[in-house]
A and B are shown apart, each in its own frame.
Chain A
């Protein structure tokens, strides 16, 4: 356990600089964005109001008020979110492969540590997961701040105020912030399983190289088919199973896949890995 925590901390700190840059880009881009969009809207509204000789209320009526929803549709908001998602996806591969490549093959050191090698796997899973949750939390803070900024920038009559809770029911935000805690566990549990499986696939490749790519593809394919099977079978059975039963089946499958992935990774790390 102690060595696991040490490894998590180590993995975390190794990526921390890039992570801070990501956080910085997100904050900078979104805060600049909300100020820019807010001011632009007010300016355009004023011009139109002058030109058409109408009041703020009439403007809001004719052209619609601005809301946080308008902001979260802009590139200012979506851009950094997309960058973060893509970076983390790439980092899921990079977190393993960078230890193998270059003159400084750190994987030697990692595998020669006097700890259970599975800890390395878990430490990397945990690090990735923490990075994801960290960004999700940051986005939550940012949304509150951005909402605040927009409220200050735009006159009340031109603003459609929105609570954070109702804002979070839109688009991708509802996936990042599921409405109930049980859904949070479900979605992020699925994400966790995804990382476990991808890491196992990477270890398959690292153990058997070219043959490993094939094995990894098969492993991923089988898992995908396995998770899809209950839904397809149920469809062909005219929805014989109730949704809750399908969820239970999927849950058991997910647990099994998680366990198999961990066991397989343990075996690969101990017996099959090649530096």
Chain B
């Protein structure tokens, strides 16, 4: 379980996170929802210790972030994290070299699924293929948790479908996934839990299935309710 407890973060005088608390469980897809600049990406960076927090605590399976965290959690940012002059195959080699949790079979599988050319240079990839390559790097790791930051933003419709397909496959099953988006439509049917962020706070945290069944509301309905 990833636990984010009362996390506060400022950029200069601007408070970005003002006591954010939530948790994400293994086997569930948790979605952080909020308008741009609400601090979704910052939360993910904070979980990976890529940006300092001013107070609060983040625990992964009860442990504070350390180097082994990166064998447990993979973060897929909204841009690719490999040098542009690297070929895809070199990037895979790099990952295999450093991550004990790298799963080459799975990498091959995803490579094939996305129809990526292993000889292509990362800098030359189209937007959609860049996003796919980025997912490939994150998902081929045998980790318990995957954090995805806006995996669908700026991507053509066909690539979106392919990416969405991944979520229902064995590649994501059983893992804990935290995903951020500002366009909930694409993935509404995929997510188990939704966390609505506003002005640095968690406005509402709910089980999408339950809300749909008991209250007959979609995620967007709930959003409209709390944000308007």
Contact = CB atoms under 8 A, between A and B. Distances in A.
Centre residue among B48, B81, B97 by max chain A CB count within 10 A: B81
Contact of A106 (B74, B82, B97, B101): B82
B21 interface: no
Contacts of A102: 84
A106 to B, nearest CB: 5
Given A113-B70, A115-B98, A105 B79 contact: yes
Given A6-B97, A14-B83, A104 B50 contact: no
A109 B45 CA distance: 12
A117 B97 CA distance: 16
A274 B99 contact: no
Given A272-B52, A274-B50, A274-B52, A108 B75 contact: yes
B77 A108 contact: yes
B77 to A, nearest CB: 6
B79 A112 contact: no
Contacts of B74: 112
Interface in A234-275: 270-275
B81 A109 contact: yes
Contacts of A103: 79-80, 84
B50 A117 contact: no
Given A104-B80, A104-B83, A114 B98 contact: yes
A91 interface: no
A116 B77 CA distance: 21
A111 B49 contact: yes
B216 interface: no
Nearest to A271: B52
Interface in B95-118: 97-101
Interface residues of A, number: 25
Interface in A60-96: none
B144 to A, nearest CB: 13
Contacts of A273: 50-52
Contacts of B82: 104, 106, 109
Contact of B122 (A104, A113, A270): A104
B67 A114 contact: yes
B81 A108 contact: yes
A207 B52 CA distance: 9
B50 A275 contact: yes
A10 interface: yes
B123 interface: yes
B159 interface: no
A275 to B, nearest CB: 5
Contacts of A6: 97-98
A14 B83 CA distance: 9
B208 to A, nearest CB: 29
Contacts of B69: 114
B94 interface: yes
Nearest to A112: B70
A49 B144 CA distance: 85
Contacts of A113: 70, 98-99
B68 A114 contact: yes
A208 B80 CA distance: 24
A70 B213 CA distance: 90
Contact of B83 (A106, A117, A271): A106
Interface in B39-70: 45, 48-52, 67-70
B98 A3 contact: yes
B71 interface: yes
Contacts of B97: 6
A14 B123 CA distance: 15
A270 B100 CA distance: 21
A207 B51 CA distance: 9
A112 B123 contact: no
Interface string A200-232: 000000010000000000000000000000000
28 contacts: A6-B97, A6-B98, A10-B94, A103-B79, A103-B80, A103-B84, A104-B79, A104-B84, A105-B79, A105-B81, A108-B50, A109-B81, A111-B49, A112-B48, A112-B70, A113-B98, A114-B67, A114-B68, A114-B69, A114-B70, A114-B71, A114-B99, A114-B101, A273-B50, A273-B52, A274-B50, A275-B45, A275-B50
